[in-house]
Structure 1
Amino acid sequence: MKKILLLALSLCLVSTGLFGQSLKSPDEFLGYELGTRFTPHHKVVAYYEYVAAQLSNVKTERYGQTNELRPLMVAYLSSQENMDNWEQIRTDNLKRTHLIDGDPVGPKKGIVWLSYNVHGNEANSTETSMKTLYELARPDNSEAKAWLENTVVVMDPCINPDGRDRYANWINQVIGTTPNPSLDAKEHQEPWPGGRPNHYLFDLNRDWAWQKQIESQQRMKLYNTIMPHVHVDFHEQGFNSPYYFAPAAEPIHEQVTDWQREFQDMIGRNHAKYFDENSWLFFTKESFDILYPSYGDSYPMYNGAIGMTYEQGGHSMGGVAVETEEGDTLTLADRIAHHHTTGMSTVEMAAKNSERMVDEFATYFDNAVNNPKAKYKTYVIRGTNHPDKLKQLEQFLKTHQIAYGTGSSKKGFSAFDFKTGEDGSVSIENGDILISANQPKAVLVQAFFEPKTYASINDTYDITAWSVPYMLGLEAYATEMEIPVSEGEFLQHERQVEVSGTPAAYLAKWETLQDAKFLGDLLEADIKLRFAVEEFTVAGRTYAPGTLIITRKGNRHMGSKFDEIVKGKAAELGRDLYATPTTFVDGGKDFGSNNVPFMHKPKIAVLRGDGVSSLAFGEFWYFMEQELGYPITMIDTDAIGRTDMSNYNVLVLPSGSYGRAFNESQMNDLKSWIRGGGKVLAFERAIGSFAGKDGFQLKRKTSDDKKSDEEKEADALTPYADRGDKYEDFRLPGAIFKLKVDNTHPMGFGYEDTYFTIKNNSTPYEYLPNGWNVGIIESAESHVAGVAGEKVKENLGKSVVFGVENMGGGAVIYFADNPLFRAFWENGKMFVANALFMVGQ
């Protein structure tokens, strides 16, 4: 009897540990009621880890950390049996995707992944995540316990901790003891740059595919080891908007399956049941489409999951309480209740439909391997593409687990040529890389590589073109033929080093961003050098304009250190390096010629702050710090008038409005600085500070109104219901245009005579009459892919996209398009490097 009592007592103690009868709610743990303030990220992490410490059926994992060293984490929770068998469930799931070999052997369990707070100032969702974690894990919640028998739930409480803490710390500082719902109150007026983006001011919800940011990179490594069946991305929108949930709006990519549409609808109807019970308003099938592949709903969709965005009204202006246009007060507690309801409803529907959900998931990947829905069956990437570009492609494919290989067919076949935009005859050559549509990631292959994205309607939420061959600047082909693909790897480029003795000069090519990084490193090491503005020949080899000429002259004071630095940096970055014993050339200009300019070291200032697009600033900041590795000085717009600009010779204006930064007096000072040798890089909307202004050549292009009186009258009398169609001709939600490039100009060095730009700016600019029109759109036929209205295409014909206006000893460089957009348009980045290093020298 004593043994039985001891055993009973022991079981009771184990039960308390396993099932957390005394589990604290978020309110009890934090010491305040959820919804009364915003919780700092470290306390959120602490609560998650507390729950995991209390319950053996909840586990946490730190999968990485942010730029500001905050942890990234997920929690896994399910029934005790499922958690004990989690590794089997996970590997069984990957076997269904064919990403690993073998057949599933365990029971079918659904996997639901809930992601919160990808936008830092949409901060309700992280608060909600703690409530949802508690309710799912709470031992006496019999309903949730039943759901967890069939599902494993993965919860990421905060995708963007740096942005969230930027917002949470700010609002906790400015809010009063009692929230003020008036929009006049400071707590509703978030300062620049806002908490939406991450450390580098990137929108992480546009980074799922490109994975440029550290948060995305680390999260997606984990995601691809699990491949959930359902993924929800919790967001917030304007505080006057009702709640949005799936089903999604059109356009929905044609690769999305009937099941994915159906289950979105089923989940949406379940949400609607709960919202109707509480008299909460909502909307579906509007605004948020499934097209652009880099969202938290679309990327999972292209990977077999049911991807969904949920949008609660609130956002940064919501604060803790805000008065809506209806006169109601929307509170943070209200917002938590709504997000919590859809989160729980999602788990409920996944649990009730888990077996079918898993079966449909398996069918999705069976079809991908055996019978993909694809116009193009094989993509061919020429092995003769630049090794740096092939390396970028290889990394991209491996990141997304896209299979590739080689082929041996020499027979010609019909294929679409990405560069010409036409069909032609192509054969497979040694070293070419083949990407087949028949593979587990077949849908992702089509979404990334198809030349023209199909959109059922033109009214889209984001950009509509992104094809990888254009993004990377590759010679590539797409064929409707299924070409056998053999296992094979990218041919490794063997670095060319032709250096012997004590050369008079080292020579390095100027072709890709890695060459620009090499140059930047040399300048930072105080190496003096020149560069070619014309083709030249020396020692039997011909070199293109832009070639770096690193002469011993001017560096003799460094002794042997000069050779060590040059050769060491070249080896570190994998750069080809050549040498010549003489500066006397066989053809072209000798290295001592005035026509072989000395490279002055750029001293770069970039404006940030009020008026500047935080995203555009972040793109330049990230480019300089993480990709080019070259120093910049960041200056606030309200401090530019107090800044001694003689310390700088380059000023960068990211897209934005600079009317306050440059009044008439300051604009005159800027012009004087430019004439004295300064160089301005103006991106997108920043061009408006110069277009049509006194002393500058750039002008907006105006189109002649050729409509007849009858056409004008028809426009004026367009019915209200048809008002949306009236603007179809003026839409440009991100499309690809082909530019003609003057690659004899330093801004065009390293490019061919054509370039494919990602265009978001529909404002056309006239050719510079006395400047350099380096990249131009020749006609409406220059449109290549993506949605672009007929009027937009017509207006953009005969317009300058990249231009240089000389002014005294300096220059203004105009970027009507931003090659650094979201950091993913790799082939455009050399235009920025050219502008920084080559132009104006």
Structure 2
Amino acid sequence: MKIKYMALLFLLVQFLPAQELQSPSTFLGYELGSRFSRHHQVISYFEHLEAQAPDRVRLEQYGTTYEGRPLMVAYVSTAENLQNLEAIREAHLSNAKGEGTPDKAIVWMSYNVHGNESVSTEASMLTTYELLTSKKEFLENTVVIIDPCINPDGRDRYVNWYNQYRNTPFQVDPNSKEHHEPWLSGRPNHYMFDLNRDWAWLTQKESQQRIKLFTKWLPHIHVDFHEQGVNNPYYFAPAAEPLHEVITQWQKDFQKEIGKNHAKYFDREGWFYFTKERFDLLYPSYGDTYPTYNGAIGMTYEQGGSGRAGLGILTAIGDTLTLKDRIAHHHTTGLSTVEISSQNTEQLNREFRDFYKGKEFTYKSYVLQGEHDKMEALTRLLDAHEIEYGFTDKPVKGVSYEPGKTMNNQEQKLVVSTDQLKGTLVTVLFEPQTKLNDSLTYDITAWSLPYAYGLDAIASKKIVSVNAEKTNRAPQINIDADAYAWITDWNSMNDAEFLAHLLKNNVRVRFNQEPFSFGQQSFERGSLLITKGDNKDIPVASLLEEAANTFSKDMHSASTGFVDRGFDFGSPSVRMIEKPSIAVYSGGSTSTLGFGEVWHFFEQQLQYPVSVLDADYFNRIDLAKYNILVLPNMWGLEDSHLNKIKSWVKDGGKLIAIGDALRVLDKVDDFALKAIAVEDKEEGEKEVIPTPFNSSDREGIKELITGAVFKANVDTTHPLSYGYSDTYHTLKLRAEAYEWLSDGNAVYLSDNAQPIAGFAGSEAVKKQGKSFIFATENMGSGVVIYMADNPLFRGFWENGKLFFTNALFMVNN
């Protein structure tokens, strides 16, 4: 009898009507906008939507963050569309190839890429709910992909902090603590990287995982939801100049149509907004530009608020801006975007197809050549973006990125053509010089990958055919267990990872300061030498063989320390690499992004341990435990901290100062730095004309360098420069420049230095002549390494990283 009762109950449950979709407020148990939702609560809400409407909501986890939080998108559409989701995706991608007649619009909306711009994730829940209820007609011919939180680690860092320190009830006074985030703000991800500037470079785990899914869809529309200062009205498309020349007229025009649709709703409510100002479409690694260069209408929406606004704040004009207000604004533009997309499905599909038709780019092929590991690193990035490439062993003619330099026709060359689906993106990432139709831009103006990866390159106006398979270079590992020493070269970050691995495993390693050869083998400065005599107590041969296979390193065995040319292995010019104990300064006036670049470099690239020393307790630390201290970009140091660092250097420490940290040291007499200033013109030499008030910004950019590439000279005998040729293309981010030191100038600019790519203001350029890029100064028993340009900037300037590694391992006191 009991079994029959249970069976009947089961049947009744199966035929009960499904629970209705709950609004965010009902599900969360608090009114949306009355508090901040933690990431797990947001995920739970989307799981509720999928559970109650599985035919109209489908969740897909596409990855996890560094701190283990899930990364997820929700596909939202009609039951029929979701049932045919894969067929819709395939038809959409076929359209890019000129095939088929798809009839659906693909709209992707990304929220909360900056963790403390926290309103957007709240808005994503309400927008999704209304698309499934009151606005479901928008979904008839539209698939909406919603990423409710691109940066969960940053978001929860902000939300957890705010919930700890908020007033009850919340305090609108901007001076209250709840409106002042601590040093590690919620804006970046775990490693303090700005994910909104990583779409093209893919240095971060979140970006790498997201781009795989994005490339599977290549949406018609992509919106990146942001926040800005609390006193700013709402910003939406159309974007400001400069707009990259590859952006089509249709992409520009439809941005305007979307903006007009938003304006209709904002006008109705009396909400303030602005367009066509500040936020341009140039730098390729944003959440609006990267989709644009892949055929989408890519847009940034900016709501006033950010990490200062909390649940409510008084603005400069005395208005109260609440979280509920901010949700309403992002919610409105989100729905408006889907609405106008659904109304223009046919045109979106037609123009998307036209975007991918053959285009007449100035250069049709980019041909590259250089050190094997650097080529490998670039092809990994191309693979991640699904950019096609091939190889040729034939001579190629075209415009050299470095005039006067020719390629070695005996070596294989990498060919990347614009005659492919991603041709527009190829043009943007590889072109030697970006065309600027306005020099007032939001970000850097030079990023060409051949410069970034340190490769020789030719831009050809013809399609260069590929006629060779990729040469799979097997490492030549010759490890004789009875050898006197084993030797390998030093050219790339792969070599640096190999060295770090050995040092972590207590293998003692030397390097040579002068070239040497024996037999048919020649080795340049900085080659790594591992001798049996230095490693008597460990199974060094087996450790080397394992490491050589892991890092694909050529290894050569030497039966003697007597060389044919150069200095023998026992010479003072063959130096021991001290196993470093490394610390990085954090907190205080240190740039969080600058700190993150160093932190990420050690843990995720070099994979070598680093200690983080915070300003709060720096005076209590025994610095003698560390032989290297890194000062990232910063704007100041407490006097007691600076004095402590100076004493430590003089006692034998190695200090590496990066970027703006040089400004701090420049103020102290002990350091040899001298900033270059443009001398004032003699009185009467030039008539001075007052600058119109509305031209002050344009006059000001004369003093700026917005990410320009300069060709620098390299002293290849300097330990900082081991592994480099005699020139280096440096990415200069700031106008500040420092005079050549009396000696120790490893990389420097000659007189009359000019940018070869990107924008540099006329007054700023005058400072660059006879300045150093990287230099060293002995101080007492220690050494200071100055890096005026940041080689770790955003983790993408690959060719600069070996300079930083040389600073760690090759520069001795």
Q: Which range, TM-score by smaller chain? A: over 0.9
Q: Deviations over 1:55-81 (max 9, x none)?
A: 021111111110100000000011111
- Which one-letter code corresponds to 1:802 in the other structure? F
The structure-2 alpha-carbon separation of the partners of 1:489 and 1:712, relative to structure 1 and needing over 3 Å to count, comes to: farther
Are the aligned partners of 2:741 and 2:775 in contact in 1 as well (CA < 8 Å)? yes
Q: Quote the residue 1:746 is aligned against.
A: 719
**Which range is displaced more, 694-703 or 545-554?**
694-703
1:514 to 484, 494, 505: 494
Q: 1:496 is matched with which residue? A: 476
Matched, 1:445 2:398: no
Cα distance, 1:11–1:297 mapped onto 2, change above 3 Å: farther
Match of 1:608 in 2: 586
Question: Equivalent residue for 1:45?
Answer: 43
CA contact (8 A) 1:503 1:580 kept: yes
User: Which residue of structure 2 lines up, in the alignment, with residue 251 of structure 1?
Assistant: 242
Give the alignment partner of residue 386 of structure 1, picking from 353, 356, 371. 371
Segment drifting more, 335-344 vs 785-794: 785-794
The 8 Å contact of residues 498 and 579 in structure 1, kept in 2 or not, is answered as yes
Match for residue 162 of structure 1? 153
Q: For residue 389 of structure 1, report the CA deviation from its aligned partner.
A: 1.0
Deviation sequence 1:203-248 (CA, Å, 0-9, x none)? 0000000111111111110011111100000000000000000000
**For 2:563 and 2:394, how far apart are their aligned partners in 1?**
44
Find 1:417's aligned residue among 385, 400, 410. Answer: 400
Q: Which moved more, 1:545-554 or 1:424-433?
A: 424-433
Post-superposition CA distance 1:353-373 (Å, at most 9, x none): 0111011101111x2xx3x13
Partner of 1:758: 731
Q: Does 1:682 align with 2:657?
A: yes
Which residue among 362, 385, 408 is the counterpart of 1:400? 385
Q: Distance in 2 between matches of 1:465 and 1:42?
A: 39
Distance 1:710 1:585, change over 3 A: closer
Looking at structure 2, the residues matched to 528 and 408 of structure 1 have their Cα atoms a distance apart, in angstroms, of: 40
Deviations 1:507-555 (A, max 9, x none): 0111111111111111111111211000111233211010111111121
Percent identical pairs in the alignment equals 47
| 1:462-501 Cα deviation digits (max 9, x unpaired) | 0000001001001110011233345x54321121223335
Measured in 2, the distance between the counterparts of 1:13 and 1:334 equals: 42
Whether 1:701 aligns to 2:676 is yes
**1:595 to 2:573 alignment:** yes
Q: 1:659: Cα distance to partner?
A: 2.5
In structure 2, relative to structure 1, the CA distance for the partners of 1:201 and 1:14 (3 Å cut) is: farther
2:447 counterpart (448, 463, 466)? 466
Q: Which of 750, 764, 778 is residue 792 of structure 1 equivalent to?
A: 764
Is 1:541 aligned with 2:521? yes
Q: AA paired with 2:648? A: W
Partner of 1:114: helix, strand, or coil?
A: strand
Which one is further off, 680-689 or 151-160? 680-689
SS in 2 for 1:733: coil
Between the aligned partners of 1:600 and 1:431, the Cα distance in structure 2 is: 37
Distance 1:766 1:15, change over 3 A: farther
CA distance in 1, matches of 2:178, 2:694: 39
Q: Would the aligned equivalents of 1:699 and 1:765 in 2 still touch at CA under 8 Å?
A: yes
> Residue 659 of structure 1 corresponds to which residue in structure 2?
637
The equivalent of 2:79 in structure 1 is: 80
How high is the TM-score relative to the length of structure 1? 0.93
Residue aligning to 2:100: 104
Task: Provide closer, same or farther for how the CA distance between residues 787 and 402 of structure 1 changes in structure 2, counting only shifts above 3 A.
Answer: same
Q: Equivalent of 2:544, from 550, 561, 566?
A: 566
Question: Is the partner of 2:574 in helix, strand or coil?
Answer: coil
Pairwise CA distance, 1:808: 2.0
> In structure 1, what residue type is equivalent to 2:709?
I
Distance in 2, Cα, partners of 1:607 & 1:381: 38
Q: How many residues align?
A: 802
TM-score, length-normalised on structure 2? 0.96
C-alpha separation in 2, matches of 1:174 and 1:673: 38
**2:200 counterpart (180, 195, 209):** 209
The SS at the match of 1:757 is: strand
**2:130 aligned to 135, 138, 141, which one?**
135
TM superposition shift of 1:571: 1.2
Aligned to 1:671: 646
How far is 1:202 from its partner?
0.2
Q: Which shifted more, 174-183 or 398-407? A: 398-407
Q: Is the 8 Å Cα contact of residues 692 and 700 (structure 1) preserved in structure 2?
A: no
Once the two structures are TM-superposed, the CA of residue 200 in structure 1 deviates from its matched residue by: 0.4
In structure 2, the CA distance between the partners of 1:379 and 1:11, relative to structure 1 (3 Å rule), is: farther
Distance in structure 2 (CA, Å) of the matches to 1:59 and 1:299:
25
1:373 lines up with 2:360 in the alignment: yes
Match of 1:436 among 399, 414, 417: 417
Question: 1:297 — aligned with what?
Answer: 288
Contact 1:435-1:485 within 8 A present in 2 as well: no
Structure 2 residue matching 1:796: 3-state secondary structure: coil
How far does the alpha carbon of each residue in 1:187-213 deviate from its partner, in whole angstroms, 9 at most, with x for none? 101001100000000000000001111
Equivalent residues of 1:112, 1:154 under 8 A apart = yes
| Amino acid of the structure 2 residue aligned with 1:108 | D
The amino acid across from 1:337 in the alignment is A
Please tell me whether residue 57 in structure 1 is matched to residue 56 in structure 2: yes
Please report how far the alpha carbon of residue 779 of structure 1 lies from its aligned counterpart in structure 2 after TM superposition: 3.2
Q: 2:25 aligns with which of 20, 24, 27?
A: 27
User: C-alpha separation between the residues in 2 aligned to 1:104 and 1:61?
Assistant: 27
What is the rounded CA distance, in whole Å, between the counterparts of 1:682 and 1:14 in structure 2? Answer: 69
SS of equivalent to 1:111: strand
Over residues 285-337 of structure 1, what are the superposed CA-to-partner deviations in whole Å (9 max), with x where a residue is unaligned?
00100000000000000000000000000000011000001100000000000
Hey, what does 2:69 align to over in structure 1?
Answer: 70
1:115 shift after superposition: 0.3
Whole-Å separation in 2 of the counterparts to 1:544 and 1:47:
60
Letter in 1 for 2:459: A
